[in-house]
Structure 1
């Protein structure tokens, strides 16, 4: 799973002494989850109600792994694949949900025109907004493999797919049919669905399934998540640039699934920065903690967020949604600290939800940036000097204040 899991540390610890510093052993936790669902999935034919859910891999592109996710459960299973509704769930809950979803995987060219009946069935499943009774026949009994990923929610047991059938008609909204058949480019299709109020992960599923856009292609789930969040974020950024500035410095905070999220909104023209650190003992926190970051001004980020990757687009979208709702513009600084309590990667959705919850938890408003920074320090463990060294926005603020000092003989920035 990770380098530390291959070391002598695990052999000495055996999950009992917690020598890695985590509050629970990730290996044993996943083993317990796997054991709890073993009897339910110990067969080649799986019948149940898909949430609905599909997965598209990225390895081997343009020939990728794709398949439906079907649990051995009938009825309302939508909670098994509703990331934006998991705000009150634990990491153990998420691992259990995902372990129930059995994936029947097959290889497919990303060009959907070269697809056959099975892919057409998968696409129909993806377009449904309600669970769909489905049946998969597998070559072997499914195996649960745990791979650490910071992007998509963890994938459950899987095996090669021999056959897949929808045993009832999927519930496909008329608006989805309209967008899919209207030959819209992917970006306007995404925004139309978003503005109509469709769940973000429903849109991601449609993009992955290759039903959006003019030249329709399968899109790996991981790529789809970032693409949809980036597309919506860009549109919202352009919109809020026309709004008035907020009046004060605002500080927000929330802790979610072992992640700390602190947000500062500044009464200045739009810019966004995410500062992130994996604390010692956290999932990917080997060695001394180091602050990583990505940023943008009103023109948007140049290229891809190389350091914070998918977390950047998820965090940005949550703050932009909050500003759009208020019809206000601000300069945005987001701090993310990952603690040892985040013992298993559950997907970038938790960043989306964590920052969203933070934006609903205003701590205080301040007259100066110094006061806001001093308030944020109370919530964070990493020495604040490390954030100051890396932050592009804070460097810009310091330079702006120095210019102001030279012109007006006073300063407020420390």
Structure 2
């Protein structure tokens, strides 16, 4: 199988196999009875991006938590999460993104801190409709909504009520204020995608909203971090979550961020004959182009900047993400965000020079192939400091 084929295929049979092994495992986790009706909890909403600006969206229906941070707290395995997502129903109604929207049931669902009970009638029985996306957590079932009724009232924190009621507050400012008030990423994304933030409000596809929230918060943190004194030495922090290993190295210098993503041989989106590697980077200016690493880049950068702000320091940073074949289902960029946060909470390991840290990374990864992709390390090695002249 050629490198990247699964990423292109996403269960559509390009490999020639009779059954997609990833789709098959999701289908095995399906426990929801196929029906034309649903009555129960809706923890969140989903807005698609296909056919933008005419999109489909609606409530996600499952009697389980839909918050990735909660999944991490509960120590859910990949199979646990697949079981939840296989039985999750994505309800679909049609919306024009740019039109002025009246109050919608999906807005009440997204606004509520706790899941709301809903009663839904579908046009026909829900069907298995798994689609893979590296940014989104997958959903197993979908159905076109004929009728949707919310059965109870939203529970809304005071700060959320204040910011969503302020129609003079820009969406970016609302996102930052919510974040600084302790509202988690998932909740903020729900508010943005359901069209409840900003001056000119409209719904936003969920996959775009996730990255927009990562990027908006990161930029605010980056401006703070760049004013801090630089770290004094070289340190490495590392951790793993769901077969995603994150290695983060902090080096003295002005703020720079580089990420190297390695899909190992035989992994879900890796090649059969070797690793698939993608790299991207930025400096102090705001990043203008969309990363070829896609949402994982923004999720990892957010975790790193959260850490730098917490220690009151600035640094040049490079992050390596290594994905093994045990990561058999794409769960979304939340995995990289939470794996990176886990790494940033690990005990830092100090090194005397870049050569020593490179040797350590080679041992962890079992390869030195990554090194030729790092422009940041090359630049640091070639830089001359004032002390070099005395």
Structure 2 length-normalised TM:
0.92
Contact 1:106 1:160 in 2 (8 A): yes
Partner of 1:64: 55
1:106, distance to aligned residue in structure 2 (A):
0.8
Q: How does 1:261-410 map to 2 (within 5 A)?
A: 261-287=246-272, 288-305=274-291, 307-381=292-366, 383-384=367-368, 386-400=369-383, 403=384, 408=389
State the alpha-carbon separation in 1 of the partners of residues 214 and 365 from structure 2: 27
Query: RMSD between aligned alpha carbons?
Result: 2.1
Q: How does 1:6-405 map to 2 (within 5 A)?
A: 6=13, 10=17, 25-34=21-30, 37=31, 40-51=32-43, 53-71=44-62, 73=63, 77=64, 79=65, 81-87=66-72, 88-113=75-100, 115=101, 120-183=104-167, 184-287=169-272, 288-305=274-291, 307-381=292-366, 383-384=367-368, 386-400=369-383, 403=384
SS of match in other structure, 1:164: strand
State the alpha-carbon separation in 2 of the partners of residues 27 and 169 from structure 1: 36
Contact 2:27 2:140 in 1 (8 A): no
Q: Alpha carbons of 1:98 and 1:290: their partners in 2 closer, same or farther (altered >3 Å)?
A: closer
State the alpha-carbon separation in 1 of the partners of residues 248 and 10 from structure 2: 32
SS of match in other structure, 1:152: coil
SS of match in other structure, 1:86: helix
Q: Alpha carbons of 1:397 and 1:48: their partners in 2 closer, same or farther (altered >3 Å)?
A: same
State the alpha-carbon separation in 2 of the partners of residues 8 and 389 from structure 1: 31
Deviation string, structure 1 residues 229-250 (Cα, Å, up to 9, x no partner): 0000000000011111222111
State the alpha-carbon separation in 2 of the partners of residues 131 and 96 from structure 1: 19
State the alpha-carbon separation in 2 of the partners of residues 193 and 406 from structure 1: 44
State the alpha-carbon separation in 2 of the partners of residues 128 and 83 from structure 1: 17
SS of match in other structure, 2:173: helix
Q: Which runs of 5+ in 2 are unaligned?
A: none
Which one is further off, 156-165 or 230-239?
156-165
Contact 1:55 1:66 in 2 (8 A): yes
1:147, distance to aligned residue in structure 2 (A):
1.6
Contact 1:62 1:110 in 2 (8 A): yes
Paired residues, number: 379
Structure 1 length-normalised TM:
0.86
Which one is further off, 197-206 or 104-113?
104-113
SS of match in other structure, 1:328: coil
